[in-house]
Amino acid sequence: MSPLSDPIFAAIGRIAAQRGVNAYVIGGYVRDHYLHRPSTDIDVVVVGSGIDVARELGRQLGTNVSVFKTFGTAMVHAGGLEIEFVGARKESYSSDSRKPAVEEGTIEDDQLRRDFTINAMAWSLNDGDFGALVDPFDGMGDLERCLIRTPCDPDVTFSDDPLRMMRAVRFAAQLGFDIWPETFDAIVRNRERISIVSQERVTTELNKIVAAPRPSMGFELLDATGLLELIFPELSALKGFETRGGKAYKDNFIHTLKVLDNLAMKTDDLWLRWAALLHDIAKPATRSFDARVGWSFHGHETLGSKIVPVIFRRLRLPMNEHMRYVRKLVFLHLRPIVLAEDVVTDSAVRRLLFEAGDDVDDLMLLCEADITSGIESKVRRYMENFELVRTKLREIEEKDRVRNFQPPVTGELIMATYGLEPSAVVGEIKAQIKEAILDGRIANDYDQAFGLMEQLAAERGLKRVK
C-alpha cells in the first residue's frame, strides 16, 4: 500500500494547489515508512503559509486547528493522525542561543536545515509528481547504510543547535545505526556547546536513549563523544578499574550498561531501566581496599538511594512516585542477591516482601539482570537460586499476606488501651509486634498481635485503662 494512500494527503495537495503553493510530507514519517516503523505523526512543509493550508484542511474536515503563530505552525488531528504544518524556511543562529532567526525559504532550504539526511527526505503532494521522493542528500542511501549523517557541514549543524548532538546519539541507539565519522568528530569538537541547551531538552533525549532497544549503545556513544561527563558526570565516574595486590574490581560503567541491556530485553518500563542505570551509582564513593579481602563497596546501596533524588532533581526528572520507586529499588537491589547466596529463610523473604511491596517482582527482574558474570555455571547457580526465592515469595505471600502489610495493632489502639500519649514506648511496642510478624513468631493476625501487645505492655508495667 502506498504511504500516501490515505485521502487526507490528496486533500492537502488539492488545497495547496488551489492556493498556488507546493506541499511536502517531510521528516520522521517518511523515514519510518522505509524502516517499517509505525507512525501517526506527520510533518507537512508548505512553500508558503502552512497555517493557511492547515486552516482550510480543518474547515473541510470540520475539525479544530491549533495554531501556534509564534512558531509559524499549525496542528490538525484527523482519523488518528497528528499533522503539523509549517512554512518552508531557512534559519540562522547566534552563538549563544538555539533559537534561530527564521525567514521564508524553498523546499531545498528547508531540507538543508534538517538535522540528519534520513530526516530530510520528503514526498511531494503536488500535481505532476505526487508521491515522488525528494532526497537531495541521499537520505535513502544512509538508511540502507544504517548511517547518521548531517545534510551540511556537521560543525555548523551542531554549533547552530547543540541538541542535535544528543539526537544523533539517540537515533543511533534507537535504530542501531552508526554515526558517520565526520559527523562523530564534529560532536566531539562541539560537545561543550551542549551547555546552552536546557536541561529539560537534554533529559528528554536521555530518556529516549534509556528506552532504546539496546540502551548501552547510546551511553557508549555519549561516553566516546565526551558528552557523558558533561551531562551525567555521576555515570561517567563509574568508568575504569584499579588493581592492588593482584586484586581488581570490574569496570562498573561496563557492568551497569550490561545490567541495563539485560533488563531492556525483559521490560520497556522506563523507571525500572533508570533503576538499573543508577543501581551502582554510589560505588565510586564507597570503594575501599583491604589487603585481606580485596575491594569492597559497603553501603553503596544505601548511599545510592540518597543520591537518586539528587540526580533526579538536577536532571529535571519527576520528583514524584517515579523517583521514590527508583530510590527504593536502588536501596533494595542487593537483598535478593544476598538471599540467593544463602539459605532462603521465611523470615528473610517476609522482610523482602514487606519492604519491596508491590515492586517486588520488578526488584527480582533487576537482580536477575544484575548477574553479569561470564562464568556460565555461576550465572546458572544464581538464576536457580532466584527461582527458589520467587517460589518462596509466592508461598509466603499466600500464607502470611505481608506485602504492604500494616501491623494489625495500631499505635492508636495501644494508646487507647493503656491511656498513653504519643511516645517512644508506643513506637517500641508497635515495632516489636511488626518484627515478630516478619520473623514468623506470630501470625499476621489481630488476636495474636493483640496478645503480644498485652505481653509487651505487662513487661513495661503498663495497665489497661478502665
Domain range for 421 is 411-459
Asked if residue 62 and residue 134 are part of one domain, the reply reads: yes
pLDDT tens digits for 256-302?
999 999 999 999 999 999 999 999 999 988 888 777 777 677 889 99
Domain termination residue (choose one: 197, 231, 265): 231
Whether residue 28 is contained in a domain is answered as: yes
Asked if residue 217 and residue 174 are part of one domain, the reply reads: yes
Which stretches of 196-343 are DSSP H helices?
199-210, 215-225, 228-231, 233-236, 252-264, 270-278, 283-286, 300-314, 321-332, 335-341
Domain termination residue (choose one: 186, 211, 231): 231
Whether residue 257 is contained in a domain is answered as: no
pLDDT tens digits for 196-255?
999 999 999 999 999 999 999 999 999 999 999 999 999 999 998 776 666 666 789 999
Taking the C-alpha atoms of residue 343 and residue 73, their distance in angstroms, rounded to an integer, is 64
Greater pLDDT, 440 or 81: 81
What is the H or E stretch that residue 86 is in? strand 81-87
pLDDT at residue 138 tops 90? yes
* Average pLDDT value over all residues in the chain: 90
Asked if residue 189 and residue 136 are part of one domain, the reply reads: no
State the cell numbers at 460.
513495661
Asked if residue 154 and residue 136 are part of one domain, the reply reads: no
Domain termination residue (choose one: 177, 207, 231): 231
Asked if residue 89 and residue 170 are part of one domain, the reply reads: no
Greater pLDDT, 383 or 313: 313
Asked if residue 36 and residue 95 are part of one domain, the reply reads: yes
Q: How many CA atoms lie within 13 A of 376 on its CB side?
A: 0
Q: What sign has the CA pseudo-torsion 279, 284, 285, 287?
A: positive
Q: What is the pTM of this model?
A: 0.84
